[in-house]
Amino acid sequence: MGRGRFLTDERGQTLQDYVVGVVVVLLATFFVIAYLPNVFASYDSPTDGIRSSQADRVAEYILTNYSVEDQSHELRYDGPGGLHDTLSTEAGMNALRDQTSLNTSTDRRLPPDIQVFLVNASTLSDRDELVPAVHRGNTLSYGDTYRGQAAARSIRVVTMDNETICDPSCWLVVRVW
């Protein structure tokens, strides 16, 4: 064993050893920087779980109460008791809030705002923008005005009994904020 050398090691650190070490450290650093924000992203949601469950509850209520008899996910649009005739009125939206238990308020909290609208599936694009369908000059959007704030959203794929509204299907979108 030579003087100043460790056991039987005959060579020192070469330039290649140094470069490999630096590359490994840099790759590990980049991995941590890229991966770490995604770990906490699910906890950084702008809406809480309560709003999400409220949106789901409203969507299920609409499917249950406005579906054509013996047809799952086919909604009645016009006519007495249809989706448009009921939800286009203030009384209809208040009834929806009451039936889904969303019309509750306390001294500290106001009842949540609700928007229900139909989107023609043939107009969907890669963007996250959902534009309400229009039928006979009526925009198929009911409830409160959405201004881009953080909102919980529930989406169901439905068809309408009036086949001229959506071709081939509609998205029933419920927003609660």
* 75 and 159 Cβ atoms separated by less than 8 Å: yes
How confident is the model at residue 124, as a pLDDT?
Answer: 82
Please check whether residues 110 and 37 belong to one and the same domain: no
Please check whether residues 109 and 120 belong to one and the same domain: yes
At 113, which amino acid appears?
D
User: Residue by residue, what is the 3-state secondary structure of 30-83?
Assistant: HHHHHHHHHHHHHHHCCCCHHHHHHHHHHHHHHHHHHECCCCCCEECCCCCCCH
Domain of residue 36 covers 11-44
Q: How many domains are contained in the chain?
A: 2
How confident is the model at residue 25, as a pLDDT?
Answer: 97
In order along its 177 residues, the chain shows pLDDT tens digits of 456 555 556 666 788 888 999 999 999 999 888 887 776 666 656 677 888 999 999 999 999 999 998 888 899 988 888 999 999 999 999 999 999 998 776 666 788 899 999 999 888 876 667 889 998 898 999 999 999 888 999 999 999 987 778 888 999 999 999
How far is 119 from 102, CA to CA, in rounded Å? 23
How confident is the model at residue 114, as a pLDDT?
Answer: 95
Please check whether residues 56 and 138 belong to one and the same domain: yes
Sign (positive or negative) of CA dihedral 60, 155, 55, 79: negative
Please check whether residues 32 and 74 belong to one and the same domain: no
